[in-house]
């Protein structure tokens, strides 16, 4: 069992995960509110995901699961926006 001093987490990955999840949840709000809130948060999450991915590679894969889920949430948000989410729903 590893001690807490040896166990390192990727806090940027968790930040990307939560920001992407909030963006996905806010995206369906109609009248362009979801487009601005969900789309803006997904752009922030995309930057955080790229940073977390590079940090995870530097740490031999530590914290890559939240990065993958954040990327999935970002793709779902952008896909929802592309079919009208946040504008006409």
Q: What is the pTM of this model?
A: 0.86
- Percentage of the chain beyond pLDDT 90 is 62
The model's confidence at residue 44, banded by pLDDT at 50, 70 and 90, is: very high
**pLDDT for the residue 13:** 94
Question: What average pLDDT does range 72-88 have in this prediction?
Answer: 89
**Residues 76-80: contacts with CB within 8 Å, 24+ apart?**
76/24, 77/20, 77/23, 77/24, 77/27, 77/38, 77/39, 77/42, 78/39, 78/42, 80/24, 80/27, 80/28, 80/38
Q: Is the dihedral of CA 25, 12, 42, 72 positive or negative?
A: negative
pLDDT of residue 5: 55
Q: Around Cβ 80, how many Cβ atoms within 10 Å? A: 20
Cβ count near 83 (within 10 Å): 9
């Amino acid at each position: 069992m590893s001690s807490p001093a040896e166990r390192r987490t990727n806090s940027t990955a968790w930040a990307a995960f939560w920001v992407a999840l909030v963006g996905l949840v806010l995206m369906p709000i109609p009248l362009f509110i979801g487009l601005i809130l969900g789309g803006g948060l997904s752009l922030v999450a995309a930057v955080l995901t790229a940073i977390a991915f590079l940090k995870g590679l530097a740490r031999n894969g530590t914290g890559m699961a939240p990065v993958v889920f954040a990327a999935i949430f970002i793709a779902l948000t952008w896909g929802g926006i592309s079919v009208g989410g946040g504008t006409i729903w």
